[in-house]
Chain A
Amino acid sequence: MPNPVIRWQLITPEPDRAAAFYQKVFDWNLSKANALGYREFSSRETRGADGGVWPAPAGQPGFVQLFIEVESVARAVEAATDAGAKILIPESTLPDGDTMAVLMDPTGVSFGVCRLGRSALASTVK
C-alpha cells in the first residue's frame, strides 16, 4: 500500500505518566535523545509502527495522531486540502530532519503527513 502509516503520536497533558505507562506495560524502548526532547518509543520489532509522546496543553484531552509517509509533504497537503482537509500545522522541518504537516480531515480528525529525514530513516529501517 502506498503512503503507509509509519508513526503514531500520543498527545497528552501528562506525557511523563503516559510514557511510563506504555514503557512498563509493553516493554517499549523510550528515548528522549533528540533536539526536541521528544519521547520516542521503539518496540524493537520488524512489524508495526513506532511512535512517540508529545505534550498537550494543560486541561486538554489526550488523543492519538497517525502519521502517513508521503513522497512530498507539500503535494500531500495540497491534495488533502483540495479534498476538504484543513491545515493545523503547515509543512515544517524538524531539527532531526523529518518534514511534516498536521491536518484535520473533513470529519474533524487530525492526522499528520511526513517524510522522514536521513537520520530518522536510518533508525526506522530495522
Chain B
Amino acid sequence: MPHFRLRGTSPTLTHICRLSYLASVDLIQVLSCELVQRRQRSPRYSLRAFARDLGIDHASLSQLLRGRRVLSPRLAKKFGAKLQLRSAEIAETCENHNAQAILRLSRTAGFRPNSRWIATRTGLPLDAVNVALARLLQQRQLIMESPTRWKFPATYHA
C-alpha cells in the first residue's frame, strides 16, 4: 500500500484526493483534482493550459479525464513526474491502470483466461499482465475458479 507524504504545511486538494485513494492510486482522479486546484488559484486556468503544462495535447487530456481513453504506463510516468509523485506511487499507478485494463477487457464478449491473449488485446507486456493478475488475485478482484473460468467480482469499479 502506498504512503503519501504531504509536502508543505497545509494539505492541498490534490493531497486530499491522493489520501482518499490510499489503497488504489487513481492518477486520473489526481489529475482532475490538480486541475480543480489550479483553477481555484487562477480561475482563467484552462484545460488547454493544464495540457500544455503536462506536455500533452488538450484533446487527449480531455479524453483521459472523461474516461474515454486509457492511460498508458508511459503517460502515467510522464504525468507522475510532472506532478512530482514518487516512483513508488507512479509504479502503483501503472499497475492499477493495468489491472483496470484487464477488468475492462473481462467485461467484453469472448474474454479468454489466458495471459498471452490478454497481453495481445490490451497491448500490455506479458509480465505486466501477470503482475496485474497477481494483484487482482490478492485483492480478491479475480477468482480463478477453473482452468477455463475466471470470475471478476463486480465490486471493483474501473
Contact = CB atoms under 8 A, between A and B. Distances in A.
Interface stretch (B16-24, B41-49, B64-72, B124-132): B124-132
Contacts of A93: 144-147
Given A54-B134, A59-B91, A37 B144 contact: no
Contacts of B145: 93
A57 B137 contact: no
Contacts of B122: none
Interface string A69-107: 000000000000000000011101111110000000000
Contacts of A56: 131
Tell me what chain B mostly uses at the interface: helix, strand, loop, or mixed: helix
A48 interface: no
B95 interface: yes
B39 to A, nearest CB: 33
Interface stretch (B4-12, B30-38, B102-110, B113-121): B113-121
Interface residues of A, number: 21
Given A55-B131, A89-B138, A95 B143 contact: no
30 contacts: A15-B127, A35-B113, A35-B115, A36-B114, A36-B115, A36-B133, A37-B115, A37-B116, A37-B127, A37-B130, A38-B130, A55-B127, A55-B128, A55-B131, A57-B91, A88-B138, A89-B134, A89-B137, A89-B138, A90-B140, A92-B143, A92-B144, A93-B144, A94-B147, A95-B113, A95-B114, A95-B144, A95-B148, A96-B147, A97-B147
Interface of A: 15, 35-38, 54-59, 88-90, 92-97, 117
Interface of B: 87-88, 91, 94-95, 113-116, 119, 126-128, 130-131, 133-135, 137-138, 140, 143-148
